[in-house]
Amino acid sequence: MEFQSLKYIYQPSGKTNAYTLLLLHGTGGNETDLLSLAEHYGHEVNVFSLRGNVTESGMPRFFKRLGMGVFDEADLTFRTDEMVAFIKELSVKEGFNLEKLVALGYSNGANIAGATLVKYPDLLAGAILFRPMQPFKSMPLLALKEAKPVFATSGKFDPTVDPTATVIYMSALKKAGFDVEDHFLSTSHNLTKEDIQLSVDWFVKNFGE
């Protein structure tokens, strides 16, 4: 397969050399889904929102799955490579600093963000992962140039994500050298005000200027 472009929305902040928030939606979402969420992180960040190139029963996704919670890892690998190539092209076209790119992904979007962290560990300046699952059964051994900050929240009552697997995933990221802040919240798969506030505090601490 050849790489294809992704549908996207880019909203520049007007600030020179600003951080760019890369928005990655969940299953059934699109490039508009997380725009209102991005407003919580301030008006001095660029917003770059993508739509996944895969559809499942008419619902956009970033990669295929074989069943609920079972990823098609070959497709995930291809779609991660495709997305990263597109991001690099768009950084030139839209003029944002690729070294100041922070991913924010929810559910399916968090999972391709996680795949990007482990396949391209030096690409993202950091990542916010809402309701993530480990992208690959076998996590690659990484040698990070620096400890990139990663924020993650999971729901204690989430029926789609095994909490034990999440603990193992977060441990793997920490072992790989990422600076991980992770929380288990008293909620399900849906996002809450607590998710947002905790992530905003984390973002300001790590990327506030």
The tens digit of pLDDT for each residue in 51-91 reads 999 999 999 999 999 877 789 999 999 999 999 999 999 99
- Is residue 107 annotated as a catalytic residue, yes or no? yes
Given the residues 33, 158, 182, 195, the one annotated as active site: 158
Catalytic residue among 91, 162, 183, 189: 189
Q: Quick: pLDDT tens for 133-176.
A: 999 998 877 778 788 999 999 999 999 999 999 999 999 999 99
Give the integer Cα–Cα distance in Å for 63 and 50: 13
Residue 158 among the catalytic residues: yes
Calpha distance 67→207 (Å, rounded): 37
Set 25, 33, 49, 107: catalytic member: 107
What gap in Å lies between CA 167 and CA 148, rounded to an integer?
19
| Whole-prediction pTM | 0.97
- The Cα–Cα gap between 16 and 95 comes to 10
Question: Could you confirm whether 195 is annotated as catalytic?
Answer: no
The confidence score (pLDDT) of residue 80 equals 98
What average pLDDT does the chain have? 95
- In degrees and rounded to multiples of 5, residue 147 shows phi and psi of -75, 100
Closest to 116 (Cα-Cα) out of 72, 144, 77: 77
Q: Token pair of 171, please?
A: 């441990």
Domain residue spans of the chain? 8-207
Span 8-207 CATH architecture: 3-Layer(aba) Sandwich (3.40)
